[in-house]
Amino acid sequence: RWAEIEPLVRRGPEFMKPGRGAERRVIRLDNPGVPERTSTHTISTAVQYLLPGEVAPAHRHSPSAVRLMLHGQGAYTTVEGDKCVMKPGDLVITPSMTWHDHGNEGAEPVMWMDGLDSPVVRYLEILAYEPHTAERQQVGAPSAQQIHYHWDASYAALQGRATGEGDPFDDILMEYLDPKTGKSVTPALGCYLQMLRPGVRTRAHRETSSAVYRVVSGNGFTVVDSVRYDWRQGDFLAIAPRAQHAHGNEGSEPAVLFSFQDVPLLRALGLYRVEA
């Protein structure tokens, strides 16, 4: 629950400052039901926090990362020289082994959500990390690959779909895709934006994939293996593989959810299944 997580995030500066030797200030979501203590067995999730003027130094690693901006103004992520100024709701992709650094050029603290496929990479025994020679990269030309998805455009697309018929399992669901290839934003993790319209209750189903949700706005609930979990803005929810689950919105306003899911990985392996 965000009410429990946010105070811990904001206490981070009491314990460390980003720099060489302590590259990132993050609170990782530790799931006691997962042997690796990550969010799911394939997804690691954390909330990252920077004070005004701070820089999280440039480095690269074999896991791919996806970042959803949560709060504050002035944050940026530079990926291979492409500086992406992140506003709340924006999504920025850091593909495997791309140089990236973060900074806060604003007047207030900033925070965003990190999702990585590091549990998969670690299992494959190809986990690698390398620091950059400089704290910040030199900013250059924009990337040829789509790495920055702006909230205004994403939410407008979701609203456009909300006038049509919903999916029986997810109501209104939209995946972020690379416009050049039509593929998911990373090979192992897909990113999704979802709306549960007022009064909607989806059908229960199982998937072989796992997911981590963040509630962008609104209130609702998810029933997982017959246990109901009520959630509100800012909360996180993890769904394990083959867990029966259904979502609902009993309020008068739409609820919007963002999620990381390992669907692309399972599809590539021919292992993705959905069962009503």
Q: How confident is the model at residue 141 (pLDDT cuts 50, 70, 90)?
A: confident
The total number of residues written for the chain in this structure: 276
Indicate if the pLDDT at residue 195 is higher than 80: yes
Indicate if the pLDDT at residue 82 is higher than 90: yes
Q: How confident is the model at residue 19 (pLDDT cuts 50, 70, 90)?
A: confident
Q: Are 162 and 106 in contact (CB under 8 A)?
A: no
Indicate if the pLDDT at residue 103 is higher than 80: yes
Q: Are 86 and 76 in contact (CB under 8 A)?
A: yes
Indicate if the pLDDT at residue 20 is higher than 90: no
Dump the DSSP string for 21-85. TB---EEE---TTSTT-SSSSS-EEEEEEE-TT-EEEEEEESS-EEEEEEE-SSEEEEETTEEEE
Q: Terminus-to-terminus CA distance in the chain, angstroms?
A: 28
What's the pLDDT score for residue 78? Answer: 97
Q: How confident is the model at residue 36 (pLDDT cuts 50, 70, 90)?
A: confident
Q: How confident is the model at residue 115 (pLDDT cuts 50, 70, 90)?
A: very high
% of the chain beyond a pLDDT of 70: 100
Mean pLDDT calculated for residue range 38-59? 97
| pTM of the complete model | 0.95
Mean pLDDT calculated for residue range 94-122? 97
What's the pLDDT score for residue 143? Answer: 80
Q: Give the CA-trace dihedral at 102, 105, 106, 109, to 10 degrees.
A: 40
Average pLDDT over the chain, rounded to an integer: 96
Indicate if the pLDDT at residue 21 is higher than 80: no
Mean pLDDT calculated for residue range 146-152? 97
Q: How confident is the model at residue 144 (pLDDT cuts 50, 70, 90)?
A: confident
Mean pLDDT calculated for residue range 217-242? 98
